[in-house]
Amino acid sequence: MTNTEGTFITKIQETITLSDTHDGYISCSATYPVNGGSKTATTEVTLSVSYAPKDTSASISPSDLVSAGSWVELSCSSRAKPPASFTWFRNSKHGAINVSVGQVYSFYATEGGEYYCVATNDLGHQRSSVILTRIGGSRVSVCITMKILGIVTLCGAFIIFESWFKLSNKLPKHTNEADVDRVIELQVT
């Protein structure tokens, strides 16, 4: 359609199903011929698209084998609009147990376990994959070993002292036997 100024107006219409990929800028462009060449007109529109949590994942620090009693931190992340809230669960033989609320869950590891987070907003929720905490060498066992070594050392020292004491009582006193004989002779005469 051409208007009175000689400009050409066209209407481009496309129906799209909005998703998280459309959040932000969306642009439309048209290329048209002009005097043996071409020209492109572009327009941008800002879209604010709400969507349920996507790409929900959980991570653990430290990621290696941890010792019993070590501090462990689990973190949850997700793309969501509006922003998601996070809930942490631990798998047990009785089912999933809610253990914490928040993006980060920190605790002292006393045993291994399976944990996961769920990201939730008004439009839906998404669960992360399971994180496995594995307990390796235990600080508790090191402590117990040190106590046992201390007790063995103390008992050994006591046995050595007692043996020395008994042996020292059996040895003759450091007296001069000749002097003892003289004392006896002097008293007899």
Among residues 9, 33, 49, the one where a domain terminates is 49
Give per-residue pLDDT as tens, 112-150. 889 999 999 999 999 999 998 888 754 445 556 667 777
The predicted structure's pLDDT at residue 106: 92
Domain that holds residue 103: 51-137
Q: Do 57 and 75 sit in the same domain of this protein? A: yes
Give per-residue pLDDT as tens, 60-94. 988 777 888 889 999 999 999 999 999 999 999 99
Q: Do 121 and 142 sit in the same domain of this protein? A: no
Q: Do 131 and 68 sit in the same domain of this protein? A: yes
Q: Do 113 and 142 sit in the same domain of this protein? A: no
Instruction: Report the predicted TM-score, pTM, of the whole model to 2 decimal places.
Output: 0.57
Residue 28's DSSP bridge partners are: 43
Q: Do 24 and 64 sit in the same domain of this protein? A: no
Of the candidates 7, 39, 12, the one whose C-alpha atom is nearest the C-alpha of residue 27 is: 12
pLDDT at 5 over 70: no
Q: Do 111 and 122 sit in the same domain of this protein? A: yes
Give per-residue pLDDT as tens, 16-75. 777 777 666 777 788 878 888 888 888 888 878 889 999 999 999 887 778 888 899 999
Residue 144 host element (H or E): helix 139-170
Give a yes or no: residue 185 inside a domain: no
- pLDDT higher at 167 or 2: 167
The predicted structure's pLDDT at residue 2: 58
Residue 183 host element (H or E): helix 177-188
Q: Residue 58: which CATH number? A: 2.60.40.10
Quote the Cα angle for 163-166-172, to 5°.
Answer: 130
Residue 162 host element (H or E): helix 139-170
Q: How far apart are CA 113 and CA 105, in angstroms?
A: 14
Number of structural domains the chain divides into: 3
Residues 6+ apart with CB under 8 A from 56: 76, 77, 78, 84, 117, 118, 119, 126, 127, 128
Q: Do 66 and 45 sit in the same domain of this protein? A: no
* Averaged pLDDT for residues 1-24: 68
pLDDT at 13 over 50: yes
Give a yes or no: residue 187 inside a domain: no
Q: Do 65 and 41 sit in the same domain of this protein? A: no
Backbone angles phi, psi at 149, to 5 degrees: -60, -40
